[in-house]
Structure 1
């Protein structure tokens, strides 16, 4: 297992390098520059600013300078957030994004698996149709529609919860963002679990367990769910990375100081170092989550167990 993990980590290095290279040149190809929206500066001052950030050099030289600094774990300063480095900005936004995203994915996993299992056990019955109908609604309604509706109902009309603000992560401030972020994930996980569970419940080893007289509840809990979780785990790998790093829509609607807002603002303002920093962090998280998914696979299905 250790050798497999080490091999995957070594394989991830060139993958990450390719992502960094593509992202770097895509940012430079896009029209506009980081200081185009500033008020008109005298040519000598503008030249000094460009020189200070190495933007006066050819793109390929900027690339090698950036890579050399990156090898020293230096992500550089932000062009727009003065006196802040990219590392400081990302670290400042991570607690909020991790808290919202982590709670959302946990909520989505437990509820989604439960609803999907229930729908599979009552296949083609009213319970199944009702759960899948709600799931399709959750998939069809995007976050930017669901979040304002929840805020309007529970924050404005009922006045049960705050409609915006972080409040240092207070529980009341977490409820609406977490639910808004979890709703689509619940729907996807429920559908995946239902489809996989139906297939597992018709497999030979489930028939054998039933033939031995094992109670249906134990058949589902001990054998069915474990086999049905494989596609769900596959989905959760990138989903955890995407949700945990924050949704810019949710963070904007509920005024949450997370990484997502930094990323979009940096892209709009051509803040190259901050965009690159978030891209590198996001890509690394996805690669690590895919590795964790493969390791979990080996525990769920011994046939997929990787070599030691």
Structure 2
């Protein structure tokens, strides 16, 4: 346990050190008419996630060099380009190119190129890049990214220890510790920092890598539902925007969590907690269910989708949106 305390302490110090750099070089998030916050806040606090991987490598050097080099290159590449994009806006072509390279490295790391047929590779690219962007879309209020990731990572840690071991335990514990440190500064009414693209993309990449490893190890595609709340929210919102003939690549405030936080003025912390709790309930059912995947999908998405659409319709009607 002492090693985890040391890692936690190192991550905490690293985050404080980053705050000083961000403050000196004015790396901030200025609220606009689409923002869910009203105060200028330090951006890029999610840099703690790639730092967590670097610390993981330092404490597990031989194993990291042998088994985690491709994952590390992909993670650092996507975090670097995301951090640059946090500071100055980059073109979509540059970002997408780096994302594509990172996903290739991720799929190599998980063994997907060996275990999956060639025709499925483009599908994997679309799913992973789409999920990464979903992580980015959902990073809009205090606590959302940290709490949701903590629930998913904790579920993966339980599966890894109690159901089937698909990776080294520390490879899950380190991002969990990073989430706890990040939440200490972010899960507040007035957040000390926001994750930024570097944070949402970084932890999203790590979580997706773990879920892909689990699926490759077990052949159970149901584990993609460990991100079902994010998936349902983003897919339904995209469909709504397409029906309204809106540009789905432009910033907006149509997510359900945005309606609660912005229009109904519900506390960010409560909204984030409810989202994480809903995913936790789904994960508990998912892990212990012996039903076929089609039944699991129906049981999860019919009630949650119905509640989601009902709440969204009610809020849009009330606020004339």
TM-score range, shorter chain: under 0.3
- Which of the pair has more CA radius of gyration? 1
State TM-score, norm by structure 2. 0.23
State TM-score, norm by structure 1. 0.23
